[in-house]
């Protein structure tokens, strides 16, 4: 099942046209509204008029986390503070990312796509372990699930015993959690003489940075159900940039909102031909605080061939996370 066929199954020409239009508008607005982008482009003799297609993106300078810190808290905003619905801070409290209500709505819709891609739909019951995500991401994931008819169990769940009771009492079919918590659940059940198969769970969701291939394999062996991952990044969007489908064939990037590139981390040049490098992302649809060619610090691979699930979006595989 595909939630948004028109976007998730775009042809290559449709995708290029959409992304080119988005990039043009993004660069024009960022140049006009922020001294940061204006000064960066002027320093290399680049004007917004020179960005006509998505292929021109390589002309634009790269960004790093230092740029976010140096412009904290409002220097990268392209709208008045009164238009900001939410600020998300990183744990170092030197970086803040602003979102409008539309930006938040986009995140919720992206999470909806991923839930449907993992066959987590109306008949599902999901429990979101509070230790697994920041508060904003929990709210967005809950809103996404509720909007497509999924039942959400919201509870503080202070210990393993309480979590198991909730899973059984409510017939929870999906849990979003960290691998550490899930391994604790499995160990507790084993020591108590029970099995993970005694739980009603049908699938598991984890944040991609927490769930390497080795960890996923171990979880799937212990629970005997699929484990799906969702990718996010604190500086861009904590959860939902990309997510797996039921084929578990890498993470589908929501390319109507994020444009991915892979670069050589030493030279900054673009790498093609499915070679590993540093993931760079551009927030094509971001209203409050656009980030253009942001270096994520994550080493990754990109696959542009369509997935057997029917989606044509580029797919991401983390090699090493920062």
Q: In this predicted structure, what is the pLDDT of residue 216?
A: 98
User: Range(s) for CATH 3.40.50.12780 in the chain?
Assistant: 5-104+232-320
Judge whether residue 90 has pLDDT over 90. Answer: no
Mean per-residue pLDDT, 194-211: 97
When pLDDT is cut at 50, 70 and 90, the band that residue 167 belongs to is: very high
When pLDDT is cut at 50, 70 and 90, the band that residue 103 belongs to is: very high
Judge whether residue 24 has pLDDT over 80. Answer: yes
Backbone dihedral angles phi then psi of residue 15, each to the nearest 5 degrees: -65, -45
- Torsion-angle region of 244 (φ positive above 0: left; ψ -120 to 50: alpha; else: beta): beta
What is the tens place of the pLDDT at every residue in 218-275? 999 999 999 999 999 999 999 999 999 999 999 999 999 999 999 999 999 999 878 9
Q: In this predicted structure, what is the pLDDT of residue 70?
A: 97
Mean per-residue pLDDT, 93-102: 94
Question: Class assignment of domain 5-104+232-320?
Answer: alpha beta
Mean per-residue pLDDT, 26-46: 98
User: Range(s) for CATH 3.40.50.980 in the chain?
Assistant: 119-225
Judge whether residue 298 has pLDDT over 90. Answer: yes
When pLDDT is cut at 50, 70 and 90, the band that residue 46 belongs to is: very high
Judge whether residue 183 has pLDDT over 70. Answer: yes
In sign, the C-alpha dihedral spanning 265, 268, 271, 274 is: positive
Judge whether residue 213 has pLDDT over 90. Answer: yes
d(CA 229, CA 244): 6
When pLDDT is cut at 50, 70 and 90, the band that residue 132 belongs to is: confident
d(CA 301, CA 284): 20
Mean per-residue pLDDT, 47-72: 98
When pLDDT is cut at 50, 70 and 90, the band that residue 321 belongs to is: low
Alpha helices in 34-134 (DSSP H): 35-43, 65-70, 101-117
- Torsion-angle region of 230 (φ positive above 0: left; ψ -120 to 50: alpha; else: beta): beta
Average pLDDT of the residues of the chain: 96
- The dotted CATH code for 119-225 is 3.40.50.980
Q: In this predicted structure, what is the pLDDT of residue 133?
A: 84
More confident residue, 273 or 289: 289
Lowest mean pLDDT among 57-61, 133-137, 246-250, 258-262: 133-137
Judge whether residue 131 has pLDDT over 90. Answer: no
Percent of the chain with pLDDT over 90: 92
Q: In this predicted structure, what is the pLDDT of residue 322?
A: 64
When pLDDT is cut at 50, 70 and 90, the band that residue 155 belongs to is: confident
Q: In this predicted structure, what is the pLDDT of residue 19?
A: 99
Mean per-residue pLDDT, 76-87: 97
And the tokens for 296?
């994520």
198-210 burial, b at 16+ Cβ within 10 Å, e below that, comes to ebebbbbbbbbee
d(CA 51, CA 293): 14
Backbone dihedral angles phi then psi of residue 256, each to the nearest 5 degrees: -85, -5
* Residue indicated by tokens 């996010």: 232
């Amino acid at each position: 099942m595909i939630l948004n066929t028109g976007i998730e199954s775009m042809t290559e020409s449709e995708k290029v046209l959409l992304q080119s239009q988005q990039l043009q508008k993004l660069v024009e607005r960022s140049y006009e509204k922020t001294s940061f982008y204006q000064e960066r482009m002027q320093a290399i003799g680049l004007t917004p008029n020179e960005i006509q297609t998505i292929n021109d993106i390589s002309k634009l300078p790269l960004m790093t986390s230092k740029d976010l810190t140096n412009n904290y808290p409002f220097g990268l905003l392209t709208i008045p503070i009164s238009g900001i619905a939410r600020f998300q801070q990183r744990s170092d409290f030197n970086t803040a990312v602003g979102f409008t209500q539309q930006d938040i709505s986009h995140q919720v819709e992206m999470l909806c796509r991923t839930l449907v891609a993992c066959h987590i739909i109306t008949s599902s019951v999901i429990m979101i372990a509070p230790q697994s995500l920041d508060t904003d991401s929990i709210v967005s994931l809950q809103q996404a699930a509720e909007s497509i008819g999924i039942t959400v169990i919201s509870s503080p769940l202070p210990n393993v015993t309480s979590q198991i009771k909730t899973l059984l009492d409510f017939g929870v079919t999906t849990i979003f959690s960290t691998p550490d918590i899930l391994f604790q659940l499995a160990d507790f059940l084993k020591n108590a003489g029970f099995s993970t198969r005694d739980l009603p769970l049908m699938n598991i969701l984890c944040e991609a940075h927490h769930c390497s291939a080795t960890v996923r394999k171990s979880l799937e062996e212990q629970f005997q159900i699929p484990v799906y991952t969702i990718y996010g990044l604190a500086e861009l969007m904590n959860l939902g940039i990309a997510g797996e489908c039921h084929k578990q064939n890498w993470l589908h990037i929501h390319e109507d909102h994020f444009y991915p590139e892979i670069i050589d981390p030493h030279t900054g040049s673009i790498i093609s031909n499915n070679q590993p490098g540093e993931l760079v992302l551009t927030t094509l649809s971001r209203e409050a605080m656009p980030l253009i060619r942001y270096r994520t610090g994550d080493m990754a691979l990109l696959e542009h061939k369509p997935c057997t699930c029917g989606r044509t979006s580029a797919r991401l595989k983390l090699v090493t996370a920062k």
